[in-house]
């Protein structure tokens, strides 16, 4: 599974390298096609053998199709160029799409939990067959394929939404394994409520992923501080430029994939305006030339003080 997913991803990336919009579209389409096939196979099998856990797992795959559709739409908006109303582009819509995914997953988890509780009040009879187990094994293998495939594509895209969906897909693998184990245990013990208990566990997994998605996306939209290493990286570049005496007040604003940074440089107060300007240009060239994700850099020049400068805060 690893060689196939890696080979296919490399094949697709070779033609789309440097085009994150096209790569994200490929990731969404692959997720939709595989999960749609799995949904139909697991739903038919689950109904046939009367397994609530397998039906719940099929609904999870159906919502994975919807999630991929939201991802696709979210990327289309996020990659739109900047306009007069959105001078820094539409990149933050990617986080809005992640919030929508969280809401869809929450609805899925609640509906599965409700159906599972209803089933616990009865005496379900599962008609387990070998081909049903085979369907589940194939499902696990295909989900692992999607995980590997999405991870490989995301090396080129570096998308938080795709990364979140990778964790969702990995959760699907675990939930399918729960179904497989529950059915195997049922075959040997005949315990009637194990299937419903397994579907309850699946609903808990889905809800935990939904909470994770919601926290990450909402935190970013509300201005989560950027990673300290990102700030320190540009601080080191600036401080390493000849003529710069200190750096402070680094402020970082995130607009999805693009970032806007402002900073204060301390420069010898006895230098001419022209020399100070050339130093700031060198800092700007060095940072923008190496940190491709920074779209705009605003530099304010301060006269250097004997006491040096204090490290400023960073925000997103």
Burial track 88-115 (b if 16+ CB lie within 10 A, e otherwise): bbbbbbbbbbbbbbbebbbebbeebbeb
CA atoms within 13 Å, Cβ hemisphere of 4: 8
Give the residue carrying structure tokens 């080191």: 236
Written as six digits, the tokens of 227 are 């990673």
Residues of the chain with CATH 3.30.70.1350: 228-303
What's the pLDDT score for residue 261?
A: 83
Residue 149 CA to its chain's centroid (Å): 14
The 3 state secondary structure assigned to 148-195 is: HHHHHHHHHHCCHHHHHHHHHHHHHHHHHHHHHHHHHHHHHHCCCCHH
**Structure confidence at residue 310 (pLDDT):** 45
Architecture (CATH level 2) of domain 228-303:
2-Layer Sandwich (3.30)
Q: How many CB atoms are located within 10 Å of the residue 45 CB?
A: 22
> Taking the domain 2-221, which CATH number applies?
1.20.1510.10
Cβ distance 180 to 136 under 8 Å? Answer: yes
Collapsing DSSP to helix, strand or coil, 122 comes out as coil
Asked whether the beta carbons of 78 and 94 are under 8 A apart, the reply is yes
CA distances from 8 to 26, 54, 117, 205 (A): 11, 29, 42, 29
pLDDT in tens, the chain (316 residues): 555 555 555 555 555 555 666 777 777 888 888 889 988 988 888 888 877 777 877 877 887 888 788 777 777 776 666 666 665 666 667 677 778 778 877 887 787 787 777 667 666 566 667 887 888 888 888 888 888 887 777 776 666 667 777 777 777 787 777 777 777 777 777 776 776 777 788 778 778 878 887 887 777 666 665 567 777 888 888 888 888 888 888 877 776 666 778 888 888 888 888 888 888 888 888 888 777 667 778 888 888 865 554 444 444 4
CB of 23 closer than 8 Å to CB of 157: yes
Please provide the DSSP assignment of 259-300 as one string: EEEEEEEEE-TTS-HHHHHHHHHHHHHHHHHH-TTEEEEEEE
Are the beta carbons of 255 and 206 closer than 8 angstroms? no
Question: What pLDDT is stored for residue 59 in this prediction?
Answer: 79
Residue 163: the pLDDT is 73
Distance CA 238, CA 98 (A): 34
Across-strand partners of 263? Answer: 299
Domain with CATH 1.20.1510.10 in the chain: 2-221
């Amino acid at each position: 599974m690893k060689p196939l997913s890696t080979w296919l991803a490399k094949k697709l990336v070779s033609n789309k390298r440097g085009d994150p919009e096209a790569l994200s579209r490929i990731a969404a389409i692959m997720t939709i096609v595989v999960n749609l096939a799995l949904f139909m196979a697991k739903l038919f099998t689950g109904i046939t053998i009367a397994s609530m856990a397998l039906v719940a797992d099929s609904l999870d795959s159906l919502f994975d199709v919807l999630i991929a559709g939201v991802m696709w739409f979210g990327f289309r908006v996020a990659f739109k160029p900047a306009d007069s109303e959105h001078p820094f582009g539409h990149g933050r819509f990617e986080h809005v799409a992640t919030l929508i995914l969280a809401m869809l997953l929450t609805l899925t988890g609640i509906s599965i939990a409700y159906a599972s509780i209803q089933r616990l009040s009865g005496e379900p009879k599962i008609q387990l067959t070998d081909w049903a187990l085979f369907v589940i094994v194939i499902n696990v293998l295909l989900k692992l394929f999607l995980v590997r495939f999405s991870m490989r594509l995301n090396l080129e895209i570096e998308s938080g939404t795709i990364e979140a969906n990778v964790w969702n897909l990995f959760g699907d693998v675990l939930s399918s394994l729960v179904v497989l184990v529950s059915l195997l245990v049922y075959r040997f013990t005949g315990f009637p409520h194990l299937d419903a208990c397994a579907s309850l566990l699946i609903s808990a997994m889905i809800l935990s992923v939904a909470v994770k998605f919601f926290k990450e996306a909402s935190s970013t939209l509300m201005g989560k501080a950027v990673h300290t290493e990102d700030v320190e990286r540009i601080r080191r570049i600036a401080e390493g430029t000849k003529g710069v005496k200190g750096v402070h007040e680094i402020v970082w604003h995130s607009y999805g994939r693009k970032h806007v940074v402002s900073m204060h440089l301390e420069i010898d107060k006895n230098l001419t305006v022209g020399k100070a300007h050339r130093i700031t240009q060198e800092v700007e060239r060095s940072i923008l030339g190496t940190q491709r994700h920074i779209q705009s850099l605003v530099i304010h020049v301060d006269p250097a003080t004997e006491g040096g400068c204090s490290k400023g805060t960073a925000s997103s």
